[in-house]
Amino acid sequence: MRILDDEEIGMDLLGSRIQLISSVPGLVSEGKRVRAALERFKPQAMTIPLPREQLFALEKHVNATGEEDQKKTQKERDILEPDDERETRMDEDNGEGAQDVKNDADANVEKNAKVAKNDEDDGANEDDNYEDAEDDEDDEYDIDKDGDDDNYDDEDDESHDDIEDHCPSRYEEIYSRYLANFGEVKAPPTEYIEALDYCRKNAIPLIAIDMSEERYTLEYCSKISGRELVEHSIRIRKLKHRRYPADSPQKFALAWDRDITSIKGFERLEKAREKHMAEEIFRIIPRYKTMAVLLEVPRLEGVKDMLMAFEKGDLKPTKRSIKMKGKGKKTLRTVGE
């Protein structure tokens, strides 16, 4: 394993070479950095930390805003999911273990509704127990320090409708305004657009590796309790005046993630995402000699550790139901076979 810097890790896996490239989604300057990393590495394939639904929405958004040539070739249109990849793509909702997650989710939803109702009245008291950071004005900043956010790009919200059909949550709004201290902020993330453009121009696959939206919803309901939902909604008041490291966007992203995942249910959810993405990488990598893996900064170490555990045999990837190419029935095989 080669650690090139805090943002890139090179490692050998199952006889192939992969480059883990981290990014801080939303920061415009990340687009150029990720593009430069791809130009140096020249991978045969690339993965992106999005579900397939959002990857196709990203392509639609790029096409609609004219950031890509409308006269792309059929080959370029098909690279998002190569034929063999498409035909062997797992059906997550029918996979082994999916029903268990659904059952857990159904049971938890009913329980959460009762817990949330009981906790709503006294939940505000938990504010007092939330730890404040040190008030070091030289090294840290407050979101309301200047009263405005010159770099926060919130104009022309209608242009985002193609990729995301809902308004940003309060968490997303606060995150974006903190992030604006490091430069211009824009949605969709420019590094995702650069990844799509690079893969099209070099005719290589761009593969979505995150959970499907439906699977993510099931995991969310099964792992997060009603009490934790109340705590999460209360914490937003503190985050508005929280102080974070101001020396780099990467340190800010890690600190922000620690605040969110300090609630155990949200930590379990992100661990499940890391495991899922690592399993997808482990399954895909034997097809290519080199592959670039784009990840959010907070998920980099977790995915790397999972991949190493899979290769050493310390941890086994989940068995899932996969439709095999050329066969009408579904068979079970271990991810990565």
The answer for 156, left when phi > 0, alpha when psi is -120 to 50, beta otherwise, is left
* pLDDT for residue 165: 47
Stretch 261-274: mean pLDDT, rounded?
95
Distance CA 203, CA 16 (A): 20
* Residue 142 · residue 258 · CB < 8 Å: no
**Does the structure show a pLDDT above 90 at 246?**
no
**Does the structure show a pLDDT above 90 at 156?**
no
Q: Helix (H, G, I), strand (E, B), or coil: what is residue 27?
A: strand
Distance CA 292, CA 16 (A): 11
Strands ordered across the beta sheet of 8-13: 2-5, 8-13, 16-23, 290-296, 45-48, 206-208
> What pLDDT band is residue 164 in, cutting at 50, 70 and 90?
very low
* pLDDT for residue 93: 45
- CB-neighbour burial class of residue 280 (10 A; exposed 0-12, middle 13-18, buried 19+): buried
**Does the structure show a pLDDT above 70 at 107?**
no
Q: How many helices (H) and strands (E) does the chain have?
A: 12, 10
Share above pLDDT 70 across residues of the chain, in percent, rounded to a whole number: 62
Q: Which two tokens stand for residue 225?
A: 């309790």
pTM over cut 0.85? no
**Does the structure show a pLDDT above 70 at 215?**
yes
Distance CA 337, CA 325 (A): 14
Which H helix or E strand runs over 295? strand 290-296
Residues in the chain: 337
